[in-house]
Structure 1
Amino acid sequence: MSKSIDELVDVDIEGTVAREIFVDEEIFEKELEHVFGRAWLFVGHVDLVPKPNDYFASRMGTDPVILTRDHKGEIHVLLNTCTHRGMKLCRSDQGNTRTFTCPYHGWSFSTDGRFVGRPGGLVGVPGLEKNYHDELDKNEWGLIPVPQVEVYKGTVWATWAEDAPTLEEYLGDMRLYLDYALDYRDGRPDGAEVFGGIQKWRVKANWKMIPENFIGDLYHDVSHRSVDAVGIGPSGKGRRDTFANRMTLCFPQHGHGVIGQLPFYEEYEGVSGAWGDNPDVKAYYEQVHQDRVERFGDSRRVSMSVGTIFPSMSFHGRQPRTIAWVHPISATETEIWRIYLVDKDAPEPVKDEARRYYLRYSGPAGMTESDDMENWAYATRASEGWRAKQLKFNYQMGLGHAKAVPDLEHAVENGEYNEENARAFYRRWAQFMNASSWKDIPMPVDEAEQ
C-alpha cells in the first residue's frame, strides 16, 4: 500500500475515494484487523439459538465464530477453531450439542461452562493421564471467547476489542431506527422474530459496496426501473409501497446512515394502506396503524426504509423487513447473509404474505437484489485493472450542504438525493484504518461534556 489512508479517502474536501481500497489485498488484510477486529459486528439473532445448547455458526470478518446459548439461557460467542490443531469445530450451520468435539484429535469443549468454569472451557482430552502425563493445563486451552457480547432486542452483537465502547454508545441515536425494525409494528418494544431460513450467497465484489448501497444511495434507483415497472410491491406498485417524506440522514461521527423520516410527532396519513393486494392483510395493517397512533400519541417516533450500521450490517425496516450482514472473503469477493423479520404475534396469513413478498424482492433470486449484485460485481471488476485502479470514485453530491437534525444526537440530513451518508461511512472507515487502537478512534462528545 504505497498511499496513506488520508490520500485514499478525501470525502471532506475533494469528495472522492480511491478505487484502490475496493480491490487491493493489502488494504483488505489491514481492514480485517483495524475494522473487523475493533467494530461492533452483528453475528446473529437469539431466534437462531432458541433452546439451551443450541449453536449457530457465524463469522466476524474472516474468523468463524460460534453463537451459542448455555443451559441458563445466556448467549455466548466463541472462536470456532480447536485450540489444539486449529480444526473447525462446528461445521454444520446450526444445531444442538452439550460439547463441541473436535473430529481431528477428539478434544471437547463445554457449551455452558459447567464443571470447567466458563463456556468453551476444555472438558475432555483423550489420553490426558497416559499421553500427557496429566500435565496439560486445561484451563489455558479452552476456546477463545469474544471479549464483548451484547444482545439488543434479540439481535446479537460482538467485538474483539476489549476497550470498545458499549453497543449503545456505538449505535448512538441510530438505535431509534434499528428499534423501528425490531419492535412490533404497532410500537410495542422488541416484537420482531426471525422466520424462515437464512439466505447465503457470494458476489464477486468488495464488501464495502454492499453496506454503502444500503446506507442511503437513492441515486441508484435507476437500476431498478424494470422491477418498479413489474410491480412486485405488496400493493402491486413498484418494489415497495409508497413512503412519505423520505430523506437520507446519517450520523457522521458514528458512520451509520439511513433512508427514512426525520423524527415526527404525528403519524403520517396513507401508511395504513400498505399490502393493498390482500384485503385481510390490509385490514390487519390498518388496525396496527391505528394501534400505533394511539400508543405514541404526540410523542417522538421515527420510521425508515433501509439503513446501515457501520461497518457491515444493513437492514430494511419496512418493506421488506430484513437484516443483511456481509462477510468479507477477499478484496474482491463477499458473502452476504440475510434473515427476515415479522411480528411474533402476526396471524399466519400475514406472515405468509410477507414471506412471498420477501422472496420476490430479496436475495440472489430476488428481482431487486439481483440488480444490485450486478452493479457491485461489475464495479469491482471494472476497477481491478492497472489503469482503472488509479482512478477515484466520485462522492461529491451534496458536499457541504448537510444540516443538523435538531431532534437527534449528532445527526445530519441532506435532502433526498445526496452522498452524505456514503461520505460518513468512508470517513469512519478511514478513522478505523488510521487508528492504532480504540483510544485513537473519535467518539461523539455531548456538548454538556465538552
Structure 2
Amino acid sequence: MVVDIRGLVDAKQGTVDPRIYHDEEIYQQELKNVFARCWLFLAHDSQIPNPGDYVTTYMGEDPVLVVRKRDGSVGVFMNQCRHRGMRLCRADAGSAKSFSCSYHGWTYDLSGNLVGVPSEDDAYRNEINKAEWGAVKVPQVDNYRGFIFGTWDPSAPPLLDYIGDFRFYFDAFADRTEAGTELIGGAHRWVFPANWKFAAEQFCSDMYHAPISHASAVLALTPDDQDVDEEVFPMDGTKGRQFSSELGHGTGFFVESGDVLANIVGQKPADWFQGGNPEAIGRLGDARAERMRGAHATLFPNFSFLPGINTLRIWHPKGPNEMEVWAWTLVDKNAPADVREAQRIGTGRTFSVAGLFEQDDGENWSEIQRVLRGHIARRSSFNVQMGLGHEWDDDPDFPGKVNRVYCEMAARGFYKRWADMASGMSWDELMASVRKAVEVSG
C-alpha cells in the first residue's frame, strides 16, 4: 500500500499529521524515497586519514563501508557479502588491506571488488565471474570541506547543488580556518525509542524549547551573578535569526546574547569560537564568525550540528519508533591544545550520551513517541505555525529566507521537503519546485 504522504504535511497552514512519526508503511516509503536518494553524511576526513583506513556506518538502514583507497580517494560500498548477505566487517573502524566475509570467506579489496573465493577452482570449477559479484557500490561520493557524503541515487544533483543556499551557514561551522577541522574524542552512540524526524527537526528549527526544556541544565551551568533568562537565552526573538532553505536545511542562532557558549562548553572554547580566532573573522566576516551564537542546524535529512558547542551527529533511523544517535566533537585543527581539550570536555558534558542537555531532549522525544501509541493521539494534527508569514529575505547580514529565532519556519521547510521526497517526486520535479518557491518569494 502506498500512502499519500504529501497530504500529511501542510506547510502553508503549518500542520503535520503525526502518522509520519509512527506508521510502518510511511517509514518504508521514507527509506526508499528519502534515504536511498538523498546525499547523506558518512564520515569526516580525519577518521580515515591513511590508505586502508575505514569506518562502518549506515545509509538509512543499509550498512556501508567508507574506505580510504590506495590512491587517496574514498570508496563507499555495501557492508554485505554478495554470497549470502553476511556483514563483511563488524568493526566500527580500523585499517585493512582487504575485507573477508567470516561466513564463507569471500574477500573484497578496498574498492569493494571481489578478489578471492575459497576453492574457486574446485567448488566453482573456475566458472564464477568475480567481476560481476563485487560489493554494491555507492554511485556518487563527494567531499565538502572534509565532510564525506554519498548517495545511492546516480541521478541526484551534485552535492554542492544539494547543499545549495545552506553553504553560507554550513561554512560558519566547517570553513573557519585553512587548516580545516577534525573530530576528536571518538564517537558517542546511543538509542532513543523515538522517530528520527523529531531530532532532525529540532536541530533544524527549534530554539523555542531551550529556555523551557533545558532550564535546569542552564541553571546548573550559569554562574550565580548572571541572570539566566536575559543573559543565557534571550526571550526576545528579535535577538536571533532562523534560516530556512527550500532544500529542507535549516539553522537558528542568537545574534545578541551573553555567555551562552561560555556557560555551556567553557570560556576557552567560547572565546576561540567568538572572536578569538582572527583567521575565522577574515574568512567568514563578522556576522558569521562572531554573531552566530548558540546555533543549531540540520542538513537535510539527518545530519545535525551545533556550531560553537561543536557537537556533530547523525540520526540513524531504526524503524518508525527508534533512532540510533552517533555524535562526535569537532574542532578546528589549528585550535590550541587547551581549547581543544576544553571543547571535548564541555561538549561531552552537555551534548553526549550522558550530557545534561541531551538527556532533556531524549526524554521529550521518547515521551512523544510513547504518547503516539494511542489511537486518538495519532489522529490529532500537530501545530507548526510559529512565525508563519512573517519571514523576510533582505537581511543585510544573513542571506536567504530568515525569521526571528523563535520560529518554526525551518520546520515547515524541513517537513515540506521530506513530504515531497517521501512521496516519490523526481529530482527534476523537486528542483523545479525549489526554483518556483524562490521565484515567488523573490
Is the aligned partner of 1:424 residue 2:413? Answer: yes
For structure 2, the residue ranges without an aligned partner over 5 or more in a row are: none
**Alignment check: 8 A CA contact 1:249 1:260 kept:** no
Answer with 15-24 or 342-351: which moved more. 342-351
Seen in structure 2, the aligned counterparts of structure 1 residues 424 and 303 have a Cα distance that, compared at 3 Å, is same
- State the 1:141 CA deviation: 0.2
Is the aligned partner of 1:314 residue 2:304? Answer: yes
- 1:249 corresponds to: 243
- 1:92 corresponds to: 91
Seen in structure 2, the aligned counterparts of structure 1 residues 428 and 140 have a Cα distance that, compared at 3 Å, is same
Answer with 201-210 or 48-57: which moved more. 48-57
Is the aligned partner of 1:8 residue 2:31? Answer: no
- State the 1:247 CA deviation: 1.6
Is the aligned partner of 1:150 residue 2:149? Answer: no
- Partner letter of residue 61 of structure 1? G
- Partner letter of residue 109 of structure 2? S
- Partner letter of residue 260 of structure 1? F
CA RMSD of aligned residues (A): 3.1
- 1:83 corresponds to: 82
Deviation string for 1:33-58 (max 9, x for gaps)?
A: 01101111111111111221011000
Is the aligned partner of 1:177 residue 2:166? Answer: no
**Alignment check: 8 A CA contact 1:178 1:317 kept:** no
Q: How is 1:24-423 mapped onto 2 (pairs within 5 angstroms)?
A: 24-111=23-110, 119-184=111-176, 188-189=177-178, 191-221=180-210, 222-231=212-221, 245-251=239-245, 253-260=246-253, 274=262, 288-293=276-281, 303=292, 305-318=295-308, 320-405=309-394, 411-423=400-412
- Partner letter of residue 404 of structure 1? D
Seen in structure 2, the aligned counterparts of structure 1 residues 8 and 347 have a Cα distance that, compared at 3 Å, is same
- 1:116 corresponds to: none
For structure 1, the residue ranges without an aligned partner over 5 or more in a row are: 112-118, 263-267
Seen in structure 2, the aligned counterparts of structure 1 residues 238 and 334 have a Cα distance that, compared at 3 Å, is farther
Seen in structure 2, the aligned counterparts of structure 1 residues 299 and 245 have a Cα distance that, compared at 3 Å, is closer
- State the 1:275 CA deviation: 7.4
Answer with 236-245 or 366-375: which moved more. 236-245
**C-alpha separation in 2, matches of 1:68 and 1:323:** 20
SS of 1:384's equivalent in the other structure is coil
- State the 1:256 CA deviation: 0.7
**C-alpha separation in 2, matches of 1:125 and 1:161:** 30
**C-alpha separation in 1, matches of 2:184 and 2:221:** 24
- 1:265 corresponds to: none
- State the 1:3 CA deviation: 5.6
**C-alpha separation in 2, matches of 1:342 and 1:372:** 23
**Alignment check: 8 A CA contact 2:268 2:342 kept:** no
Aligned length, in residue pairs: 429
- State the 1:442 CA deviation: 2.8
**C-alpha separation in 2, matches of 1:50 and 1:286:** 29
- Partner letter of residue 18 of structure 1? D
- State the 1:261 CA deviation: 6.3
**Alignment check: 8 A CA contact 2:11 2:412 kept:** yes
**Alignment check: 8 A CA contact 2:253 2:405 kept:** no
SS of 2:168's equivalent in the other structure is helix
Deviation string for 1:384-430 (max 9, x for gaps)?
A: 21221111111111222222245699831121211111110110011
**C-alpha separation in 1, matches of 2:9 and 2:376:** 18
Seen in structure 2, the aligned counterparts of structure 1 residues 137 and 293 have a Cα distance that, compared at 3 Å, is closer
**C-alpha separation in 1, matches of 2:384 and 2:88:** 43
**C-alpha separation in 2, matches of 1:303 and 1:351:** 20
- State the 1:163 CA deviation: 0.4
Deviation string for 1:233-286 (max 9, x for gaps)?
A: 9x99869967994221111x2011101368xxxxx8988995799787777668
TM-score (norm 2): 0.88
Deviation string for 1:309-355 (max 9, x for gaps)?
A: 1110111111x112111111111000011111111122221111111
SS of 2:218's equivalent in the other structure is helix
Deviation string for 1:4-57 (max 9, x for gaps)?
A: 2232111213x2111111011111111000110111111111111122101100
**Alignment check: 8 A CA contact 2:183 2:330 kept:** yes
- 1:114 corresponds to: none
Structure (1 or 2) with the greater helix fraction = 2
- Partner letter of residue 107 of structure 1? W
Seen in structure 2, the aligned counterparts of structure 1 residues 436 and 140 have a Cα distance that, compared at 3 Å, is farther
**C-alpha separation in 1, matches of 2:268 and 2:400:** 39
Seen in structure 2, the aligned counterparts of structure 1 residues 323 and 85 have a Cα distance that, compared at 3 Å, is same
**Alignment check: 8 A CA contact 2:240 2:405 kept:** yes
SS of 2:169's equivalent in the other structure is helix
Seen in structure 2, the aligned counterparts of structure 1 residues 280 and 157 have a Cα distance that, compared at 3 Å, is closer
Seen in structure 2, the aligned counterparts of structure 1 residues 396 and 135 have a Cα distance that, compared at 3 Å, is same
Seen in structure 2, the aligned counterparts of structure 1 residues 348 and 43 have a Cα distance that, compared at 3 Å, is same
**Alignment check: 8 A CA contact 2:232 2:257 kept:** no
**Alignment check: 8 A CA contact 1:272 1:285 kept:** no
In the TM superposition, structure 1's runs of 4+ consecutive aligned residues that sit over 3 Å from their partners are 235-245, 268-287, 289-304, 405-410, 443-447
- Partner letter of residue 288 of structure 1? G
**C-alpha separation in 1, matches of 2:251 and 2:89:** 35
- State the 1:210 CA deviation: 0.6
TM-score (norm 1): 0.87
